[in-house]
Amino acid sequence: MNTLNYLPTLLGLAWLLPLASFVLILFFGPKMGKAGKCAGYLAITAIGTGFLLSAISACIWCSHYPPVAVSHEAAHAAVANDQAATGTQTVAGTRTEAALEKTAAEVADAVVTDIPTLDAEVSEHAAAPVVREWYTLCEFGSLRLSFGCYIDALTIAMFCMVTLIATCIHVYATGYMHEELEPMVDHQAKLRDGSPLRRPGRYHRFFQYLSLFCFSMLGLVISGNLAMTFVFWELVGICSYFLIGFYYERESSSMAGNKAFIVNRVGDFGFIIGMMIFWSALGTLNFGDMPVHGGSRTPVATTQAVESGDPVANDAVVTDAGAVSESASNEVVDIQPGIFTLMRGATLPGDDDPHRLSVPQGFIDLARGAGAEDPEQFAYILMMIGGLGIFCGCVGKSAQFPLHVWLPDAMEGPTPVSALVHSATMVAAGVFLVGRFYPAFVPEVLLVIAAIGCITLFVAATIAITATDIKKVLAYSTISQLGYMFFGLGVGGWFAGMLHLFTHAFFKSLLFMGSGSVIHAVHTNEMTEMGGLLKKMPWTAYTMLVGCLAIAGAGIPLIIGLSGYYSKDAILAQGYSFMTFEGGSNPYGGLLFWVPTFGACITAFYMFRLWYLTFLGKPRDAHRYEHAHESPWSMVAPLVITAVFAIGCAWTLPVVNGGLKELIMQAEPAGVAAGSQLGEIVQVLMPAESLSHEHSIHVFVSLLASGLALLGFVVATVIYALRKIDPQKVADTFRPLYVLFKNKWWFDEIYDVVFVRGSIAVGGVIAGIDKLGIDRFADGLATQTRWISKIDEWIDRCIVDGCVNGIARLTYRVGDTLRQVQTGNIGNYVAWVGVGAVLLLAIVSMLYLGIDVPVANIPIR
């Protein structure tokens, strides 16, 4: 029995536990202990169990596919070997991934002899995803919507990361939200008479939303197709809306919630368009290859599902995307290819790279159906638009330029929410989706992703310099770091971007929880009212220092560093590789490298500015300083745990010679590592990621980034710690820039004028047209109808009714008259009979015998 088969069940359980917790709290929340206190424990139990299950899954996965480091020398030797084999020509499609990995593995075998599990066989079929279909929602002909899972190393790692951070934050929230256990007086929500709002505590409701969020986020991670992703995408969106608006009595909170939701709609519109393009072209939304029983379209039941995984099994069916499937009962004869296979599986004759991105037949058919003159090019453009659409959704969710404006406002929510939803997990979902959907993006789309990421990381970093609200600084820092991830992904660094997602999740949740701990102690967000808190709350201060160091990418170059050092380094190295690739022919290559590199300097500056302003110097508000205190253990413990991960999560662990980096590397889409890809519309050439491990690149970028970060750190120290330069003077010197940054580049104002006022103006014009044109026309019609109906009514009343009533009246009169005859006197009747008889006789006589009827004429006998 292959233990990989347990993965869908284990992860599915970890996914559904928070849902159960949500439902229970929803119905019984207020009754759980005093003021719903036990709701918190229930939610922690659910997510904690989820973490345990995820950890077990990770162990199972690692026992099958050990995430073992290939030493640097080996990797470089592999690249060198490969280059030697294929000549110096590095243009698209000259390398095969299998060949690369095989050589890498052989060399590794030779160099690292103490790893017996690594052999060429394993690494060639490395880490096939486990694909299942759980439930079919509906089928339209060949199109079908279903719930399923796509489990690869990335899914496993995301599950562990999300559940671990969520568990920490749940524990943290029991401390942070304890005020909600009592009836609250909300001083920020004023009633009409100016008095503060009094309301019952909403402790249980907070955990209810957190549970729902965990369920949605895990569903998003595990989902096996785009439609399911979209469903959970929207679910995390609504959870974010609920949690931002947790203090919905405050106007700013409810406005921020609305803003987040509406801005996300803009991105989701693009998502839907992209999804429709892929669906209509490929006829499936599944990521992976779905085994279908007996060639029929019956859904695959979980129990009978194909056993995925064991790569050395003899009857394994190996598909192009690398999904390895076998069946216990040999029932499976048909594999329904998923998007990745369709996009990357169509090998052209003479092309020795099996995973090169090529235009699938479905797109060409679609283009031909649309009557395009050049179907191939039209199909390529369609692929581009589809990819951009999907990315558009990610821009909204991950708060990238130009849709980044909602995230700073989202800080209105409670701080645990900011730590979990708006820094570590949900906003990273956009990055996750780009990473997941990476095989389907053409180089042009990647260039757009890189550009957007680059703009975002710079703009957000500059705004973070001048912000004084501690959470706003972190929010802009989050946007900036997400920009780094997109930039890394966009220049071909799948692994770099994904690694930064994980490291960022740890140190940013740490920083947010630290800021929450500070806010909890001093009851303000403004750093101008803090200062000198190091003595009062050392645990918070030092863990936050770890976070600052991690995000700044501190480390001893080329030897060891905090987690951020590795990820940022990988991203910048890939950027450098992108710039210099093929003699620097890539468009905007220079800009795309130097801006993020300079951004590293800004990052270090604003993070240490935050730390110095908060913890060093003299207390700027004596009253607040007096009341400050270290937070309870429930808040400190999560800080320490995340600090540990912020330091070491990217390390290659010494005993097992592997770690998170190697685990993520397993999920790298086929064809990304080796295949350099040339765009058809824009001449953009994506360098293979393995190239950025080149020693010269690595050393140069590592030293440059560390130097710049050090520069930022030094500047911050000089200005804010040593107070050698007055910050106010600096601000005055760079007045225009300071105003620009302080006003957040006027994005909100521009959007207000262009979109909000624009919409209102357009609405006003349309309302005018309505009133003057359509309403008048409708009114005129109505008036005419009234006139016509009045005439009609008169006809009805006088003529039709008159006839009928007249007849009735006449009948009545006649009857009334004739009634008089019916006297009831028998004599009268008899008299009438007699008269009648005589009359009858007379008439008959007159008619038959002539008027003249003399009795005497009757012959008498």
Position of tokens 């996750």? 432
* Host H or E run for residue 130: strand 130-140
Options 65-73, 614-622, 790-798, 817-825: segment touching another protein (CB under 8 A): 817-825
Q: How far is the CB of 823 from another protein (least distance, A)?
A: 5
Options 247-255, 414-422, 474-482, 852-860: segment touching another protein (CB under 8 A): 852-860
Q: Closer CB to another protein, residue 766 or residue 830? A: 830
Among 370, 830, 840, 841, binds another protein (CB under 8 A): 830
Q: How far is the CB of 829 from another protein (least distance, A)?
A: 9
Among 349, 824, 847, 852, binds another protein (CB under 8 A): 824
Closest listed residue to residue 152, CA positions, set 309, 297, 307, 285: 309
Question: What part of residues 642-681 is at the interface with another protein (CB under 8 A)?
Answer: none
CA–CA distance, 78 with 295 (Å, rounded to integer): 41
Among 821, 847, 848, 851, binds another protein (CB under 8 A): 821
CA–CA distance, 771 with 775 (Å, rounded to integer): 5
CA–CA distance, 821 with 404 (Å, rounded to integer): 100
Q: How far is the CB of 796 from another protein (least distance, A)?
A: 35
Among 823, 836, 842, 844, binds another protein (CB under 8 A): 823
Options 153-161, 636-644, 794-802, 824-832: segment touching another protein (CB under 8 A): 824-832
Q: How far is the CB of 860 from another protein (least distance, A)?
A: 5
Q: Which letter does DSSP use for residue 220 in this model?
A: H
Closest listed residue to residue 457, CA positions, set 576, 554, 593: 593
* Host H or E run for residue 600: helix 589-615
Q: How far is the CB of 844 from another protein (least distance, A)?
A: 16
Q: Is 861 one of the binding residues for another protein (CB under 8 A)?
A: yes
33 touches 4 (CB < 8 A): no
Among 826, 847, 848, 850, binds another protein (CB under 8 A): 826
Q: Which amino acid is at 188?
A: Q
Among 141, 350, 827, 850, binds another protein (CB under 8 A): 827
Sign of CA dihedral 586, 591, 597, 603: negative
Closest listed residue to residue 646, CA positions, set 539, 509, 537: 509
Q: Is 857 one of the binding residues for another protein (CB under 8 A)?
A: no
Q: Is 831 one of the binding residues for another protein (CB under 8 A)?
A: yes
Omega of the bond prior to 30 within 30 degrees of 0, cis? no
Position of tokens 């039941």? 301
Q: How far is CA 356 from CA 349, 353, 698, in A?
A: 12, 6, 27
Q: Closer CB to another protein, residue 655 or residue 856? A: 856
Q: Is 818 one of the binding residues for another protein (CB under 8 A)?
A: yes
Options 313-321, 351-359, 786-794, 826-834: segment touching another protein (CB under 8 A): 826-834
Q: Closer CB to another protein, residue 142 or residue 825? A: 825
Q: How far is the CB of 790 from another protein (least distance, A)?
A: 44
Q: Is 825 one of the binding residues for another protein (CB under 8 A)?
A: yes
Q: How far is the CB of 839 from another protein (least distance, A)?
A: 14
Options 452-460, 488-496, 765-773, 828-836: segment touching another protein (CB under 8 A): 828-836
Options 30-38, 448-456, 621-629, 825-833: segment touching another protein (CB under 8 A): 825-833
* Host H or E run for residue 151: strand 143-151
CA–CA distance, 55 with 61 (Å, rounded to integer): 10
CA–CA distance, 266 with 402 (Å, rounded to integer): 11
751 touches 760 (CB < 8 A): no
Q: Is 858 one of the binding residues for another protein (CB under 8 A)?
A: yes
CA–CA distance, 612 with 548 (Å, rounded to integer): 11
Options 6-14, 147-155, 519-527, 813-821: segment touching another protein (CB under 8 A): 813-821
CA–CA distance, 815 with 817 (Å, rounded to integer): 5
Q: Closer CB to another protein, residue 329 or residue 825? A: 825
- The two counts, helices (H) then strands (E), for the chain are 32, 13
CA–CA distance, 128 with 147 (Å, rounded to integer): 20
CA–CA distance, 284 with 247 (Å, rounded to integer): 42
Options 318-326, 726-734, 764-772, 816-824: segment touching another protein (CB under 8 A): 816-824
Number of chain positions touching another protein (CB under 8 A): 17
Among 559, 791, 851, 860, binds another protein (CB under 8 A): 860
Q: Is 856 one of the binding residues for another protein (CB under 8 A)?
A: yes
Q: How far is the CB of 843 from another protein (least distance, A)?
A: 19
Q: How far is the CB of 814 from another protein (least distance, A)?
A: 12
Q: Is 834 one of the binding residues for another protein (CB under 8 A)?
A: yes
Sign of CA dihedral 799, 800, 803, 806: negative
479 touches 460 (CB < 8 A): yes
Q: How far is CA 369 from CA 86, 274, 363, 366, in A?
A: 40, 18, 10, 5
Q: Closer CB to another protein, residue 296 or residue 817? A: 817
Q: Closer CB to another protein, residue 143 or residue 837? A: 837
Which residues are at the interface with another protein (CB under 8 A)? 818-827, 830-831, 834, 856, 858, 860-861
